[in-house]
Amino acid sequence: MLVDVKCQSCAADLTYEPGTTSLICGHCSYEMEIEQPLQATNAHVEFDLESYLDNYESCQEQIEALTVACDSCGASTEFGTDVKATHCAFCDTPLVLSRAENKKRIKPQGILPFKVNREKAVGNFGSWVKGLWLAPNDLKNHAKNYERFQGIYLPYWTYDCDVATDYRGERGTNYQVTKSVTNSEGKTEFKTETKTRWKKVSGSVETTFDDVLVPATKSLKAKQLHKLEPWDLSRMVDYSDSYLQGYQAETYQVDIKQGYSDAKDRMQFKINEVIREDIGGDKQSISATESVYTNATFKHLILPVWVTSYRYKEKVYQVLVNAQTGEVQGDRPYCPIKVGLLTAFGVLVGVAIGLLKHKLENS
């Protein structure tokens, strides 16, 4: 179980200091070094997927965690033993810590420690809000006063595999056709039009994937999490409770089977790119694919994110900060008046361009 580590000088709680290998006392600045192995071993171990698909949880090492479920969004989050009050990092709902239970969870193989501290994350969030186009004016003031920023480790799966894909499709080759037309003044003009000649094709391609990341959480939007990438997984270290001191950790909600299915969806984008390159030509159309996945392996990791949920006019918006790179992604409101003015301006510009084009054609 994650037990809060006390300062040997003043008995206050120690917290992991982002970007270091130390626990720091916020009261007296006492510093305790986290014991480091000579090299990361578990963090980079790949497990054979087929061997674990049906019995992963029974085979992996489990650890106890003090966990509380959010009544609003259902996220299950791990805390230290001395946490007295907090909010859900995902929906800003106060958590009833009296309902916390000791539950077993799969011990992650590796952890990517926090590198970006809270002050930097809040600053990046403020800059992000100030740079939002068409945002309500008072949203910027909201960012200045916002304090509820929670550091949390999110669960992930990574998958490696080799994929052989047979495909059917069409290759498009462009060609030019010149036609003579008579304009409104009776004059003959020549206009060139580009057309495409299509030919049915088929073939096979092979693709190798390494560390395809799949979020194992349902508490945050996968689309936003993907936008936080890339992560430098070479910085991964073996899991240690010490890196969780002062932070939350979410238990995975997406199991290994569903994660592999999600990974295949992500792989398909790359497979389609390889197929299009193989088809060649000026344009490509893919009508059918059939893939065989072999040599599949996986890892279970946790990655650091700063999460904030803010309310604006009774609606909750989530913002994420990659705690390794500082990248900010999130939801945001739009100002209806600004959007309306921009739309009206766009219409006026479109009309002006149309009138100018008509004038030039008839001059």
Q: What is the pLDDT of residues 16-47, one digit of tens each?
A: 999 999 999 888 888 889 887 766 678 888 99
Point out the least confidently predicted range of 56-70, 86-100, 158-172, 265-279.
86-100
CB 270 within 8 A of CB 210: no
Give residues with Cβ within 8 angstroms of 81, minimum separation 6: 1, 2, 3, 4, 66
Q: What is the mean pLDDT of residues 297-318?
A: 84
Instruction: Using pLDDT thresholds of 50, 70 and 90, give the confidence band for residue 317.
Output: confident
CB 290 within 8 A of CB 165: yes
The pLDDT value recorded for residue 338 is 65
End-to-end CA distance of the chain: 81
CB 268 within 8 A of CB 160: no
User: Residues for the chain: how many in total?
Assistant: 363
Q: What are φ and ψ of residue 263, in 5° steps? A: -65, -40
Whole-number Å distance between alpha carbons of 146 and 128: 13
**Residue 40 in 3-state DSSP?**
coil
pLDDT per residue as tens digits for the range 211-249: 999 999 988 888 889 999 999 999 999 998 899 888 888
The pLDDT value recorded for residue 315 is 73
Whole-number Å distance between alpha carbons of 156 and 214: 6
The pLDDT value recorded for residue 38 is 62
According to DSSP, residue 39 is labeled S
The pLDDT value recorded for residue 1 is 47
The pLDDT value recorded for residue 131 is 76
Q: What is the mean pLDDT of residues 248-257?
A: 88
The pLDDT value recorded for residue 16 is 92
The pLDDT value recorded for residue 7 is 83
pLDDT per residue as tens digits for the range 45-54: 899 999 888 8
Whole-number Å distance between alpha carbons of 353 and 346: 11
Q: Which of 239, 77, 263 is nearest to 160 (CA)?
A: 263
Whole-number Å distance between alpha carbons of 7 and 354: 72
Q: Which of 105, 144, 108 is nearest to 123 (CA)?
A: 144
pLDDT > 90 fraction of the chain, expressed in percent and rounded: 41
Radius of gyration, alpha carbons of the chain: 27
Whole-number Å distance between alpha carbons of 357 and 363: 10
Sequence-distant contacts of 192-196: CB under 8 A, at least 24 apart: 196/172, 196/282, 196/283
CA 354 to chain centre: 42
Q: Which residue has the higher pLDDT, 55 or 85?
A: 55
pLDDT higher than threshold 80 for residue 92: no
pLDDT higher than threshold 70 for residue 141: no
Point out the least confidently predicted range of 9-23, 281-295, 301-315, 342-356.
342-356
Whole-number Å distance between alpha carbons of 205 and 276: 10
CB 14 within 8 A of CB 6: yes
pLDDT higher than threshold 50 for residue 335: yes
The pLDDT value recorded for residue 55 is 80
Whole-number Å distance between alpha carbons of 343 and 339: 6
Q: What is the mean pLDDT of residues 153-165?
A: 96
Q: What is the mean pLDDT of residues 156-185?
A: 91
Q: How many of the other CB atoms lie within 10 Å of CB of 339? A: 11
Whole-number Å distance between alpha carbons of 293 and 287: 20
| One-letter amino acid for residue 136 of the chain | P
Instruction: Using pLDDT thresholds of 50, 70 and 90, give the confidence band for residue 336.
Output: low
